[in-house]
Amino acid sequence: MKRLLLILLLLATTISLMTAQNVRRTRRGIILVDTGMVIRAIEPYRGNPDNGVGYAGIVNKYKQKFPHVNVYCMVIPNAVAYYCPDSVQSWTSAERPAIMDILSKLSADVQAVDIYDTLQAHATEPIYSRTDHHWAPLGAYYAASHFAQVAGLEFKELTAYEPRIIRNFVGSMYTFSRDKAVKNAPEDFVYYVPRDSDFTATHVTYKRQSKKVGRRRWRRFLTASEPEPFSFFRHYEDGDGNAYCTFMGGDMNTTSVTTAIRNNRRLLILKDSYGNALPSYLFSSFEEIHVVDCRYFLQNMVDFVNNHAITDILFANNLIHASMEKTCQAYERYLTQKPTMQHEIQ
């Protein structure tokens, strides 16, 4: 009996050591998890539970500024919330308390869109990329579904979409970590295009430009284009690391989509790159959808909301951006800035 117990103890110790060896930190603190079958690179969260106080404040301010508009707040968890092994939880701050703190500080007339448990229920599915810092389009689908429930909207099942696959995708986590294990573990990037959906899209694109003003001095500008039609979806070739830019071509634009729906509801999504994957699941829910990135916008927000007769505003930023002071400063600035085609970047 003692011999059996000793064997079991040695076996448990061996398994524990193997597990420890399969989790390591790489460049920039990226957590690399190797189960022997799957490689996953995870970006840690470095914020505190109360880092989102300013973010809740700016969401509340938008509701005060636009009392006639339905305002929603979706704080998107990152992969670390669901996939960080218990043994290395000390390598990251906990995301759930920080998200709950933001949602608890919203005013009573702002509607919280708490997707944490929704995503948790699907964590065994590919809802986050293994090689990129973004969620996967499937995760965005479940989040959009929950938003539709909160907002009282029609919403289509996933069977109403055509899955398209970009194979051998290795995303930003290889760039961040420079770990060959990530490079050698490509995945399928699967996105979903609505079937039988009639919509048109236009966008204003932004470009960074530099102008030399002295022998060693440069000034940097953000320049906006005129609105122009474009294809909402861009299909990348297999192996292209930019696959997440499938939606709207990436972050540096303000997008407007007109659908065939007639319900007198027009949505404005204020987002970071995570929010790029949300709009196409809502083409059957709104007459119009307008998408503004938290880093690129040269119009005046009050004019934009009024000119487009916006009825609903959804804040959809991941927790890391929601915890940043510069995100709040940008949304604050948008309310008062004068429209321009060019803005100097400090």
Torsions phi, psi for 278 (to 5 deg): -85, -45
pLDDT at 15: 47
Count of CB atoms within 10 A of residue 240's CB?
16
As a whole number of angstroms, the distance between CA 109 and CA 132 comes to 35
303-325: average pLDDT? 97
Q: Domain limits of the chain?
A: 45-345
pLDDT at 120: 98
Burial of 335 (0-12, 13-18, 19+ CB in 10 A): middle
Helix, coil or strand: residue 179: coil
Helix-helix angle 95-104:53-65, to 10 degrees: 30
As a whole number of angstroms, the distance between CA 107 and CA 155 comes to 27
β pairing state of 342-345 and 218-224: antiparallel
β pairing state of 31-34 and 111-112: unpaired
Residue 316 pLDDT > 90, yes or no? yes
pLDDT at 31: 98
Helix, coil or strand: residue 116: helix
141-169 pLDDT, tens digit each: 999 999 999 999 999 999 999 999 999 99
CA-based nearest residue to 61, from 335, 305, 343: 335
Torsions phi, psi for 151 (to 5 deg): -85, -5
29-40 pLDDT, tens digit each: 999 999 988 999
CB under 8 Å, gap of 24 or more: what pairs does 14-20 form? 19/85, 19/87, 20/87
Higher pLDDT, 81 or 18: 81
212-237 pLDDT, tens digit each: 666 666 667 788 889 999 999 999 99
CA atoms within 13 A on the CB side of 277: 27
CB proximity list for 121: less than 8 A, separation 6 or greater: none
As a whole number of angstroms, the distance between CA 226 and CA 178 comes to 38
**In angstroms, how far apart are the furthest CA atoms of the chain?**
83
pLDDT at 51: 87
As a whole number of angstroms, the distance between CA 142 and CA 256 comes to 23
Q: Which two tokens stand for residue 93?
A: 């701050």
